[in-house]
Amino acid sequence: MLVTFVYTHLTIVSVTVYLHRNQAHRAVGLHPIASHFFRFWLWLTSGMNTREWAAVHRKHHVSVETDEDPHSPVVHGLKKVVFTGTELYREGAHDLDLVAQYGFGTPEDWIERQVYTPHSWVGMALLLMLNFTLFGLLGITIWAIQLMWLPVFAAGIINGVGHCKGYRNFHTADASTNIIPWGILIGGEELHNNHHAFAMSAKFSIRPWEFDLGWLYIKAMSVFGLAKVNSIYPEQPRFNPNKDQIDIDTTKVVTANRLHIMADFRRLVVKRVYKEELKLARGELRTRLKGMKGLLSRAAGNLNGYEYSRLEASLDISNRLKVVFDLHKSLEALYKERSASAESVLLLLKDWCTNAEESGIEALEEFAARLKGYTLA
């Protein structure tokens, strides 16, 4: 059991630190010793090709939840991705044009060209012989478990469940979710929504209660000069309680921190007003309000046309929620004014705050005051 744990754990660490954060996204740099150890271990235990993995993953981010996404449960269905995720990955990896376009910057040294790529099966065969020599028939079981680990947890659970079930800190344009807040079993990859929100971040945990095991390894390696963090997600915008006017600095903070601010709006306004309305409602009205919870929580993200129409129709039962929803839409629309001048965005933001303050809804009034307090200083 200990040997099996070490095998599978090293493989997951190799995937999340080396393949994912280092090779695919360049969020962390690795010393050649660490980089080659991970590359060798993946060849030995899975036969995985660095260039193909990085290419397929980059294509996933570029085409997420579309017909061109190599492994989206939204397109292929959850069952197919969970149980045949490896086959979907291989289809992408065998697309030579895809690999050529997205596999840039990955290792192309002698050992990659002469050993790892043309003889991807040799490493697994060597590991099988080593296991059998050390442990007999039990070694074959260890080898089989090791071989199944990535298809089940990485290709299946992360690519499947991680785009279907779980909670969302950020309403990204895709369906990504955080499966659980403690990324231990799969090295931090469980925090998939956080990753899609800030793909270039070396750290996946964002909320105080979240834990990213891969980040722990990166920090430990950096102490010994084996890793260097290249980029990390932007922190929550700074807040000055004494600042009560919207200025150009405010617009810069708001436009640069869209995901954080929209997450705050859902947490501090949408959820609060919904709970207040639900507490006051009785009978059929309360039942109808309960049915809106899921739609409201996804209001900024992944509502299809039918769900959006259903939500808008449901808002007729609560004027306060309708006001909140309309201001939510107008705040989202403000971020689409990318071609507008800073002065134009400033006027739009001032109008938005005025509407929020005149709404008579305490949560909106407090959020407008919070926006005014955002500062670069």
**pLDDT tens-place values along the chain, 377 residues long:** 999 999 999 999 999 999 999 999 999 999 999 999 999 999 999 988 999 999 999 999 999 988 999 988 888 888 888 888 788 888 898 999 999 999 999 999 999 999 999 999 999 999 999 999 999 999 999 999 988 888 888 778 899 999 988 989 988 888 899 999 999 989 999 999 999 999 999 999 999 999 999 999 999 999 999 999 999 998 778 888 888 888 888 888 888 888 888 888 988 998 899 999 888 888 888 888 887 776 776 654 566 677 777 777 778 888 898 899 889 888 888 877 656 677 888 898 999 999 999 999 999 999 999 999 988 76
Are residues 169 and 251 both part of a single domain?
no
Residue pair 107/38 in contact (Cβ under 8 Å)? The answer is no
Q: Which of 229, 252, 281 is the last residue of a domain?
A: 229
Q: On the CB side of 164, how many CA atoms lie within 13 Å of its CA?
A: 18
Are residues 320 and 216 both part of a single domain?
no
Which tokens hold the place of 211?
Answer: 């834990």
Give the pLDDT of residue 224: 96
Residue pair 163/192 in contact (Cβ under 8 Å)? The answer is yes
Give the pLDDT of residue 25: 97
Give the pLDDT of residue 205: 96
Which tokens hold the place of 270?
Answer: 């949408």
Structural domain contains residue 197: yes
Helices 32-45, 2-13: axis angle to 10 degrees equals 120
Are residues 325 and 183 both part of a single domain?
no
Are residues 81 and 192 both part of a single domain?
yes
Residue pair 295/307 in contact (Cβ under 8 Å)? The answer is yes
Structural domain contains residue 193: yes
Please write down the HEC assignment for all residues of 303-342.
CCHHHHHHHHHHHHHCHHHHHHHHHHHHHHHHCCCCCCCH
Q: Which of 186, 202, 229 is the last residue of a domain?
A: 229
Structural domain contains residue 225: yes
Are residues 253 and 369 both part of a single domain?
yes
Residue pair 250/374 in contact (Cβ under 8 Å)? The answer is yes
Residue pair 146/7 in contact (Cβ under 8 Å)? The answer is yes
Comparing CA positions, the residue from 143, 146, 151, 145 lying closest to residue 84 is 151
Q: Rounded distance, CA 145 to CA 122, Å?
A: 18
Structural domain contains residue 176: yes
Give the pLDDT of residue 301: 53
Are residues 206 and 260 both part of a single domain?
no
Note down the domain range covering 11.
2-229
Which tokens hold the place of 263?
Answer: 């997450």
Residue pair 353/330 in contact (Cβ under 8 Å)? The answer is no
β-pair partners for 182: 211
Q: Rounded distance, CA 324 to CA 316, Å?
A: 12
Q: What are phi and psi of 63, to 5 degrees?
A: -115, 30
Structural domain contains residue 331: yes
Are residues 69 and 113 both part of a single domain?
yes
Give the pLDDT of residue 340: 66
Q: Which of 181, 198, 229 is the last residue of a domain?
A: 229
Count of domains forming the chain: 2
Are residues 362 and 335 both part of a single domain?
yes
Residue pair 279/359 in contact (Cβ under 8 Å)? The answer is no
Q: Is 232 helix (H, G, I), strand (E, B) or coil?
A: coil
Are residues 245 and 191 both part of a single domain?
no
Structural domain contains residue 234: no
Are residues 84 and 179 both part of a single domain?
yes
Comparing CA positions, the residue from 19, 65, 26, 63 lying closest to residue 41 is 19
Q: Is 178 helix (H, G, I), strand (E, B) or coil?
A: strand
Comparing CA positions, the residue from 8, 83, 4 lying closest to residue 41 is 8
Q: How far apart are the first and last CA of the chain?
A: 53
Q: Rounded distance, CA 302 to CA 307, Å?
A: 9
Are residues 148 and 121 both part of a single domain?
yes
Residue 315 CB neighbour total at 10 angstroms: 20
Residue corresponding to tokens 């260890």: 142
Q: Is the dihedral of CA 192, 198, 202, 204 positive or negative?
A: negative
Structural domain contains residue 98: yes
Comparing CA positions, the residue from 73, 61, 65 lying closest to residue 98 is 61
Are residues 79 and 213 both part of a single domain?
yes
Give the pLDDT of residue 227: 98
